[in-house]
Amino acid sequence: MKIFNQIKLDKESSSQHLYIQLYKALKDMILEGTLKKGDRLPPIRKLSDFLEVNNVTVVSAYRILEEEGLVYKRIGSGTYVAADSYEKESIKNYSQELMEDDYNQAPMIDQGHIQLEEDMINFASATPSPNLFPVDDFKKVLNEVLDRDKGLAFGYQESQGYYPLRVALKEYISIYDIHTEENNIQIISGAQQGIDIIAKGMLNYGDYVLIESPSYTGAMAVFQSRGAKIIDIPLEDDGLNLESLEKKIITYQPKFLYIMPNFQNPTGISYSLQKKSKIIKIAEKYNLLIVEDDYLSDLNFYADDNKTLKSLDKNDLVIYIKSFSKIFMPGLRLGFLVVPKALSEEVLMAKHATDISTSGLLQRALQLYLQKGIWKQHIRYMEEQYRERFEIMTKCIVEFMPENVEYTLPKGGVNFWLKLPDGLSSKELYEIAVKENIVFAPGNLFFLNNKNTSYFRLSMAAVDNKEIEYGIKKLSSLINNLLKPKNKGYIQPNQYTPIL
């Protein structure tokens, strides 16, 4: 790390974003030969700690270097210098253009990050506020695991996952009508990793993948990173447009379809049971694999039927992904897959290649947490907390949003999807709202071409009741103002956090 001492970032007065300063400093080090071909750049967290900057600053700087061909990423290993100083003539040098035309002007929001200050009303994050995390209970099970398993808790865990945890999860999902064997369960370090290893195990460059439009940004990023061609299918109030689905299966012969049938991200809609059954029939007809991302079905308030597709899948065509991030603690990075038998080997190999195994200590603690029944109490507690917010959010949207703002109210989950009157851009609303200390997720983030849309997502996961009322009233009045002469917003560089 010593050589990185020479990087001097101006955090106070410079008008240039920190990630651009860092990018330039690293580029100079490569071109001057301080960093040589094959040298490994420090891991993101290490460098961000060392320079006392946000992780995103380092991620963004590395990305520009990668786009310029100065560094390359080796999956699971790190970022390496690709070119030597003597090769500098051949280095694609479009930094000026890149910085002026793109990065300087495109706010971080376009790259999926929001700027967050302490007192902001955060409708952008679908992640629960940390004060809802069951820290004391989890501390107790962690201690118990350490007393019981001692060093074993810190050894490598089997790649498929700690066996007793898989048994416990098998029991847990049987309540949701998913009946499987522990051998079909794969523990993952969060649903994001689940999506990633499925893509790693199944996709080759140029393969087609079908998704909903709009869809989850993190999944699109994974498929893109594999070189897949992503085809989107319009989402209706009760699920995918089936005609379009069938046509696209025939035209593109996709490797799989990725969907979130319950409380979809970002729209909050749930597929009707009828559509779920039809999709299963279509999958059987075309032998189509479906990746079902169940990141939130536990938070059901009013849906009569929030069955998972997996529970309807009799032909082992659905790869089921379960995340605990939204109802438990995202930082644990724990989730699981139910994998069709035909794919178990590919998935296991991809998991092994990615991180060998998910933390054994945390898997053991979660198993104990489930076994002791604390999990059930916690889910009930989260349901209560969220139900109240959900009701207030619903009431405020109905009461305060201008009449020409459109929405379909969800029956559960944490996301509300709204549409501004035609001609108004949600990005413009975002820029104005930021100045009023309110953030949300503009709709363009969730569409394939990132096009500017009038849609936007409001999440209630990280806001309290008072903030909801104040925030929705304020947003409503900003929309009313936007309907009058136009305002232009400006975003101050600050702390950025990913929209998840």
Ligand X SMILES: Cc1ncc(COP(=O)(O)O)c(C=O)c1O
Interface residues with ligand X (CB under 6 A)? 126, 190-192, 216, 218, 260, 265, 293, 295, 323, 325, 330, 335, 500
What is the closest distance, in whole angstroms, from the C-beta atom of residue 250 to ligand X in the complex? 27
- Closest CB to ligand X among 128 and 254? 128
What is the closest distance, in whole angstroms, from the C-beta atom of residue 228 to ligand X in the complex? 17
What is the closest distance, in whole angstroms, from the C-beta atom of residue 295 to ligand X in the complex? 4
Question: Looking up tokens 């100083």, which residue turns up?
Answer: 85
- Closest CB to ligand X among 160 and 192? 192
Question: Looking up tokens 């998913």, which residue turns up?
Answer: 178
What is the closest distance, in whole angstroms, from the C-beta atom of residue 36 to ligand X in the complex? 36
- Closest CB to ligand X among 112 and 340? 112
- Closest CB to ligand X among 27 and 200? 200
CB neighbourhood size of 75 (10 A): 10
What is the closest distance, in whole angstroms, from the C-beta atom of residue 218 to ligand X in the complex? 6
Cis peptide upstream of residue 493 (ω within 30 degrees of 0): no
What is the closest distance, in whole angstroms, from the C-beta atom of residue 461 to ligand X in the complex? 10
- Closest CB to ligand X among 493 and 498? 498
- Closest CB to ligand X among 267 and 325? 325
b/e per residue, 79-94, with b = 16+ CB within 10 A?
bebbbbbeeeeebeee
What letter would DSSP give residue 42?
P
235 to 171, 231, 257, 264, 331: CA distances (angstroms)? 33, 13, 13, 10, 31
Amino acid identity of 225? S
- Closest CB to ligand X among 68 and 294? 294
Name the 3-class secondary structure at 454. Answer: coil
Interacting residues of 190 by C-beta distance below 8 A, sequence separation 6+: 323, 325, 330, 333, 334, 335
What is the closest distance, in whole angstroms, from the C-beta atom of residue 497 to ligand X in the complex? 12
CB neighbourhood size of 182 (10 A): 16
- Closest CB to ligand X among 70 and 291? 291
- Joined tokens for residue 410: 């969800």
- Joined tokens for residue 21: 């300063």
What is the closest distance, in whole angstroms, from the C-beta atom of residue 294 to ligand X in the complex? 9
Sign for the CA dihedral angle at 282, 191, 496, 18 comes to negative
Quick one: CA torsion of 415, 418, 481, 113, rounded to 10 degrees? 50
* Rounded Cα gap, residues 463 and 410, in angstroms: 17
Contact (CB, 8 A) for 438 and 123: yes
Residue nearest to ligand X (CB): 190
